Amino acid sequence: MTGPLIGSVDTRLLRVPLKRPWAVDVVDVGIIEVVVTAADGSVGKGFSWTPTIGAEAVEAFLRYDIAPFVIGMPAYPEVWQQVWERVHEAGGGGISTIALAGLDLALWDLVCRSRDSSLTDVLGRAHGSQPTYGSGVNLHYSERELGQQVQRWLSAGHRAVKIKVGKPELAEDIDRVAMVRDLIGPDVDLMVDANQRWDLGRAVTAAEGLSPFGLRWLEEPLRADDTQGHAALRRQTDIPVALGENAHTVHRFRDLLETGACDIVQPNVVRVGGITPFLRIVALAREYGAELAPHLLPELSGQLALALPETTWVEDVEDAGFEDLGALRRPTGMTISDGRISGVTRPGLGFDFA
């Protein structure tokens, strides 16, 4: 690699309140803006992100461990592997990969700006738009509130919706899913997400109870690291299983796919360490014939989805996009309308934090 070298890495932590809290103790998100300045004066801006927990630790990891290590390295995303091998000493995933994503996104932004192009177009635009699905953290909603949310998704044009399950009594989950299916009708896809609330026995029973509702997928029914449990469940249900929002490395995704633990993989581009490993996970999903549905962050996940030849569902969590939360000085250029995401950013990734 020849070209500019990294001259400095600067960080800034933003605490952004959620308009719709995800739980009593999840009321905001931490966004760590990362600015890489190359020795030639070129600049790239990226970010790390985490709901409520760990933002200060992520920023400290960037400031004290990643930044000093990368000064003088080429200002290209290809340095990712070398940096990951270094930070792996503090853990293969979690804070280490979430922090590394901030650097990786900033380097991709710098490269895209240098080419006067958007991320999608640098990767190779394959679609004008991709489908989105309405999503929300709504297990604590009353049935009436849940129904109102579903109606908002339908009014926005979504042709697929996802709700939370995992109530203490399975009968209540079944009632809520039945209500939503009645609201959306047979032609709108319905996904459910248990957020790791069940053990294998409960998951098998729940899947049997939910099977009549024609679910598009069942997400994280067991603890995220219970690979064998998910593989066992998948053998006992006809509902496709979706996993990956809490997997942090390509190695972990390979384990999930090799063991037959899931049908759909859901990498979160920040949690896996950035765009560079996300693209490796995309290739891995293709190798195993698995569907890919990126987790959260539609303003970034959508840019990536537009560069993938496959139809790729992008998650649109109600009132949780950075623009919706007022975290940006100006829109990225990505828009969701009539159940699809489209658009083009200014040169780079398009994130200009307030």
| DSSP assignments along 44-108, one per residue | EEEEEEEESSSHHHHHHHIIIIIHHHHTTSBSSGGGHHHHHHHHGGG-SSSHHHHHHHHHHHHHH
Q: Tell me the C-alpha distance between 218 and 165, whole Å.
A: 9
Tokens of 129: 């738009």
For the beta sheet containing 43-51, the strands, ordered from the edge strand earlier in sequence to the opposite edge, are: 6-17, 28-38, 43-51
Final residue of a structural domain among 84, 114, 144? 114
For residue 200, give both structure tokens: 């294998």
pLDDT digits (tens, 9 = 90+) for 267-311: 999 999 999 999 999 999 999 999 999 999 999 999 999 999 999
Closest CA to 252 of 286, 277, 216, 233: 277
Amino acid letter, 21? P
* Residue 249 domain-assigned (yes or no): yes
85 shares its domain with 146: no
C-alpha to C-alpha distance for 146 and 152, rounded to whole angstroms: 10
Would you give the DSSP letter of residue 211?
Answer: G
Q: What is the pLDDT of residues 312-344, one digit of tens each?
A: 999 999 999 999 999 999 999 999 999 999 999
Q: What is the mean pLDDT of the segment spanning 246-257?
A: 97
Q: Say if residue 137 is in the same domain as residue 94.
A: no
Claim to verify: residue 20 and residue 62 sit in the same structural domain: yes
Bridge partners for 29 per DSSP: 16, 51
Q: Is 351 within a domain?
A: no
CATH number of the domain at 67, please: 3.30.390.10
Pair 350, 118: CB distance under 8 Å: yes
| Residues 276, 219 within the same domain | yes
Residue 342's H or E segment, with its range, is strand 340-343
Same domain, residue pair 290 and 321: yes
Instruction: Indicate if 74 and 181 belong to the same structural domain.
Output: no
Is it the case that residue 2 has pLDDT exceeding 90? Answer: no
104 and 221 both lie in a single domain: no
What are 72's two structure tokens?
Answer: 């003088």
* Confidence category of residue 3, pLDDT binned at 50, 70, 90: confident
Condensed to tens digits (0 to 9), the pLDDT of residues 122-161 reads 999 999 999 999 999 999 999 999 999 999 999 999 999 9
Separation CA 256–CA 274 (nearest Å): 20
Say whether pTM exceeds 0.75: yes
- Domain endpoint, select from 85, 114, 143: 114
**Inter-residue contact 35 to 105 (CB < 8 Å):** no
Q: How many domains does the chain have?
A: 2
* Number of neighbours of residue 77 by Cβ within 10 angstroms: 22
Do 112 and 118 contact (CB within 8 A), yes or no? yes
Q: In terms of residue numbers, what domain contains 132? A: 120-343
CB within 8 Å of 141: residues ≥ 6 apart:
149
Domain boundary among 66, 86, 114: 114
Both 143 and 269 in a single domain?
A: yes
The rounded distance, in Å, linking the Cα atoms of 319 and 326 is: 10
The whole-number average pLDDT for the span 43-53 is 97
Band of pLDDT at residue 195, cut at 50, 70 and 90:
very high
Return the CATH number at 313.
3.20.20.120
**Residue 1 located in a structural domain:** no
Instruction: Give the pLDDT of residue 191.
Output: 98
d(CA 160, CA 33): 32
Which amino acid is present at 224?
A
Task: Please tell me the predicted confidence (pLDDT) of residue 92.
Answer: 86
pLDDT band at 19 (very low <50, low <70, confident <90, very high): very high
Tens-place pLDDT, residues 198-240: 999 999 999 999 999 999 999 999 999 999 999 999 999 999 9
Distance between CA atoms of 351 and 135, rounded to whole angstroms?
A: 22
Q: Is 190 in the same domain as 254?
A: yes
Same domain, 181 and 327: yes
pLDDT tens digits for 81-104? Answer: 999 999 999 988 999 999 999 999
- Grade residue 1 by pLDDT with cuts at 50, 70 and 90: low
Residues with catalytic annotation? 164, 295
Does a structural domain hold residue 352? no
